Amino acid sequence: MKKNIIIVAVIVTIILLCDQFLKIYLKSTYDSDNPGDQAIAGDWFVMTYIENQGMAFGTKFGSSIWAKLALSVFRIIAISGIIYYLILQLKKGVRREFLIAISLIMAGATGNLIDSMFYDFIFPVEEYLNCGLEYNRLDGSGNWSDCGYEGQIEIRHTGFLFGNVVDMFQFHATWPTWVPWLGGGQVFPAIWNVADASISLGVIMVFCRQRKYFPKEEAKKKKKLAFSMPWSKKSDVPVKEPEVESTLEKGDDSINGEERETNDSAL
């Protein structure tokens, strides 16, 4: 168990350090006046810079202050639940591979939560909250700001649990033109970060290896499916033998009648 705890701790620490180092570095050095992509692997995989106000891959959760707060609270509850579940699995001594998958999910969720909790304090809001940038605008927020020649513009809320999440990786690969409906479009247009990749990898591991991770549940499903098949024989299904009751307790008339005749003849 101690070895598994060390492995889990190392994985979570490495993911968080890589995720936060890269985010803080980019946020500190990014020049919004001279944006540009840095090639990682040719033109199809690049590093850029953007912030999102919602969940993984830029998915938004609404525009009101309560929507953002609800998202952050949901993250805290989810992470707490994952930590509790991970502790239970460590005590049970489950497969190490499964512990690694859960650790990846927990580390990724925590990495994105750190952004929304502390980045508005680490980086001065007045300096970094440029209302000219699309990811700082939020229609329907009710939080108005003077944006120079553009006038009053609704921007996102700031503070604890209201910070943006930093994203930086993007695939520029496109589908071949002959592919129906998808031809010419990007294979994966979302911009993501290390935390998103960690969550996705953990979920994929659980999905692909669920039969190994949950053998009892899988066996129960197979057994239930076999019994429900129309071609399954009744003899295949275990049947509880009925209890045989005493004929005297049932008071069988024919037996009682035979006993009376025997007694009469004896007399």
246 in the same domain as 136: no
pLDDT for 228: 62
205 in the same domain as 262: no
Distances (CA, A) of 69 to 123, 156, 162: 20, 12, 7
The residue from 178, 194, 218 where one domain ends is 218
52 in the same domain as 14: yes
pLDDT for 248: 46
Query: What pTM does this model have?
Result: 0.75
89 in the same domain as 16: yes
Give residues with Cβ within 8 angstroms of 237, minimum separation 6: 227
First to last CA, the chain: 83
Indicate the number of domains in the chain: 2
- Which parts of the chain sit beneath pLDDT 50? 244-250, 254-255, 257-259, 262, 265-267
Domain around 255: 221-266
179 in the same domain as 254: no
Question: Given 120, 196, 252, 264, which residue is catalytic?
Answer: 196
103 in the same domain as 67: yes
Q: Rounded to the nearest 10 degrees, how much is the dihedral formed by the CA atoms of 184, 190, 193, 198?
A: -90
pLDDT for 89: 94
33 in the same domain as 45: yes
The residue from 218, 234, 249 where one domain ends is 218
How far is the C-alpha of 114 from the C-alpha of 162, rounded, in Å? 11
| One-letter identity of residue 30 | Y
Residue 167 appears among annotated catalytic residues = yes
205 in the same domain as 231: no
Question: Would you say 33 and 26 are in contact if contact means Cβ atoms under 8 Å apart?
Answer: no
Question: Given 33, 139, 167, 264, which residue is catalytic?
Answer: 167
Question: Would you say 47 and 169 are in contact if contact means Cβ atoms under 8 Å apart?
Answer: yes
169 in the same domain as 252: no
65 in the same domain as 34: yes
pLDDT for 244: 47
228 in the same domain as 175: no
The residue from 178, 203, 218 where one domain ends is 218
46 in the same domain as 150: yes
